[in-house]
Amino acid sequence: MDHDLTVLLIDENPAAIEPIRRALGEEAHRFKLRRVADVSTALARIRGGGIDLVLLALQALAAPAENPLAPFRELQEKAQGIPVVVLGDDAAQSLAQTAVQQGAAAYLLRAALAQDLLKVLRSATGKSAGSSTVQRALAPGGNGGNIIAFMGAKGGAGTTTAALNVAAALAGHRRVILLELHPELASLPLYFQPHRSMRDVGDLLAAVDRAQEIPLRELESCLWPVKNVPGLRVLFGSRSPRNSAPLDPASSIGILALASEIADYVVVDLPASLSETNRAVLENSACLALVVERDPISVQSAALILNRLDSWNTAKLTIGAVILNRAALVSPMPFAEINAQLHIATLGVVPPAPDLCAAAQHVHSPMLTLDPESLASVALRDLAREIEDLATGVRPPERTAAGPLAAYQAGQKMNRAGVR
């Protein structure tokens, strides 16, 4: 934000503004909070100018005999283009979702104010009231705090497997969306075998109008819920060349912006590419997990990627290596040599598990839900915790060499897993 925002809360309860202030925390100085008891008073304040956003408490205004969305509709009609965010408790969630479908900028649950308020306020001020769309843009430089990117040093490194299982691990306690941003030849539809009527990223982009906007309802209609991982939804890459649409930087950022609003973490599976689309995604991400195999070609490819990233606007991007062993090698590249060539920290080491991987694909399930106690599943959960610490700032980001100690510790993990 480049200026303070004035937020008008509509709530009959005079004490209702205090939880809002507390939820803003250290950012409270960036907002001017005002409260009124009813819509008519709010409209008078809006006509006087200076209001950037309205926060409407639905249940506080709805009399038993009236339409509970009547206050919102009056605001929508008369609020002169001011974004309206609806606020409610769990019982009013479906009502709030209806308001979003009818044009509210967003909705907030009271129980999640501390986690979601700042993100929603910042995002909603980029929307127009009466529109359930989001412009294809993130904040300059990217807010990126909940966007985690996976990219392979080369094709076939196991990147999609790593991204899927980390997303599943995070979904054990968070809302997670896994985006397969592949323009074609997507892997996840083959893995999960969704019904052929399930929409994918190609359908989503085909629904986008020429005004460079992506409707929120269109994104949600394309998200596939993973049945045995309740917190995880997937946007599949295009399944057919006939259904593939250009995945340009603008549309990719638009998808990220929307997904960031409705998920705690957005895990992005990127193709092994140095395209401008990948660049746009990485410049708006908090963390990149670069998936590397223990062979010279993979490591050399990773080094080339890192050299290119240094020329991009990725100074705030935390980059770490994921050493993924798809099969036990006769002569794997030593960890110390990998570390010397890449000069980035190792986020995790995943031991070979070809049988488990095949079995998980056969039953259309992430590996760590099929066999949670396997060595690979334990390693993937450890990796998810490491990445979450980086994305949330629990562990300070580093872009320096991991050092001999980190390489040694990674080697010890592999030894304990029985891998050479």
Give the pLDDT of residue 101: 66
Helix axis angle for 70-78 and 39-47, nearest 10°, is 10
- Distances from the Cα of 392 to the Cα of 99, 145, 377, angstroms: 31, 7, 22
Is residue 289 within 8 A of residue 347, CB to CB? The reply is yes
List, for the chain, all residue ranges whose pLDDT scores fall below the cut of 70: 1-3, 59-66, 80, 92-93, 101, 123-145, 183-184, 207-213, 241-246, 329-330, 393-420
Single-letter amino acid code for the residue at 102: Q
Q: Whole-angstrom Cα distance, residue 296 to residue 107?
A: 50
Kindly report the CATH class assigned to 5-131. alpha beta
Residue-wise pLDDT tens digits, 122-168: 766 654 333 333 333 444 333 445 899 999 998 888 899 999 999 99
Whether 5-131 shares its CATH topology with 147-416 is answered: yes
CATH of the domain spanning 147-416, picked from 3.40.50.300, 3.40.50.720, 3.50.80.10, 3.30.200.210: 3.40.50.300
- Residue 382, class by beta-carbon neighbours within 10 Å (0-12 exposed, 13-18 middle, 19+ buried)? middle
Query: What residues does each domain of the chain span?
Result: 5-131, 147-416
pLDDT tens-place string over residues 265-300: 999 999 988 888 899 899 888 899 999 998 899 999
Handedness of CA 270, 274, 276, 282 (dihedral sign): positive
Give dist(CA 22, CA 3) in Å, integer: 20
From start to end of 325-378, where are the E strands?
A: 345-350
pLDDT value, residue 145: 52
